[in-house]
Amino acid sequence: MAEIPILLLAAGASHRMGQAKQLLPWGKHTLIEHQVQILLKTGQPVMVVLGCLWEQAATLMEPFPLVVLNHKQWDRGMGTSIAFGIRELEEGFPRAEGALIAQLDQPLVTESHFKKLLSSFHPGSQQIIVSRSTSGWEGVPVLFDRHYFKELQTLDGESGARKIFRQHSRNTISLESRDVLEDMDTPEAYQKFQAEFNQRSGSNPV
């Protein structure tokens, strides 16, 4: 099986939410604990990019078999978090065939979707695999072939990885993920997502 580390972006301060998302209650855990539990089930290495609330979030990560990264310039935007994470990924996993980028604030994305992204990937083919909602939105979680690592390391500010897969649309494919890709950016969205998660918790969503 190809080695495709997963990079979980969890460094931001979440100004629109009014509080940092990392420590938000989610089920019986915090949001960040829930997310890493889902990602670790894929069998791939997991790297968590932290910044805001570094000490508290890093303490929560101690029981898990993963790599914790302290991005000290987290306040410069998501692009810098991606660039920093990919640099650390290349150094820590030099044989990685690609990287799967995930966000903290998409807690309804399921284990099966992450596994589908990984199983659809063909190493060495310069592939980019993006997630697509039924409404047509495309973005993270997204899997990049290692061919794009250098480009990802040039990202800065609030600019995310979308501009890269748009520039390479010929090599980009999309995988359906229903309507679970919406970012959880406000208290209202948090309550909505929690209600949906609690409703699903007794089932096995695809």
SS3 call for 60: helix
Q: Residue 15's pLDDT is what?
A: 67
Nearest in space to 39 (alpha carbons), one of 18, 13, 11, 10: 10
Q: Residue 178's pLDDT is what?
A: 72
Which are the contacts of 9, defined by CB distance < 8 A and separation ≥ 6?
A: 49, 78, 81, 82, 85, 101, 102, 103, 104
Average pLDDT, consecutive stretches of 10 residues, N- to C-terminus, the chain (206 residues): 95 75 91 97 98 94 98 90 97 98 93 96 96 88 97 87 91 85 84 86 51
Nearest in space to 100 (alpha carbons), one of 111, 114, 83: 114
Q: Residue 204's pLDDT is what?
A: 44
Q: Residue 185's pLDDT is what?
A: 82
Q: Residue 198's pLDDT is what?
A: 83
Burial 125-138 (b: 16+ CB within 10 A, else e): eebbbbbbbeeeeb
Q: Residue 16's pLDDT is what?
A: 65
Q: Residue 203's pLDDT is what?
A: 44
Domains identified in the chain and CATH numbers: 6-200 (3.90.550.10)
21/174 Cα distance (integer angstroms): 27
pLDDT tens, position by position, 37-89: 999 999 999 999 999 899 999 999 999 999 999 999 998 889 999 999 999 99
Nearest in space to 151 (alpha carbons), one of 139, 169, 163, 138: 163
Q: Residue 162's pLDDT is what?
A: 87
24, burial (CB in 10 Å: exposed 0-12, middle 13-18, buried 19+): buried
Q: Residue 134's pLDDT is what?
A: 82
84/153 Cα distance (integer angstroms): 7
Taking the alpha carbons at both ends of the chain, their separation in whole angstroms is 23
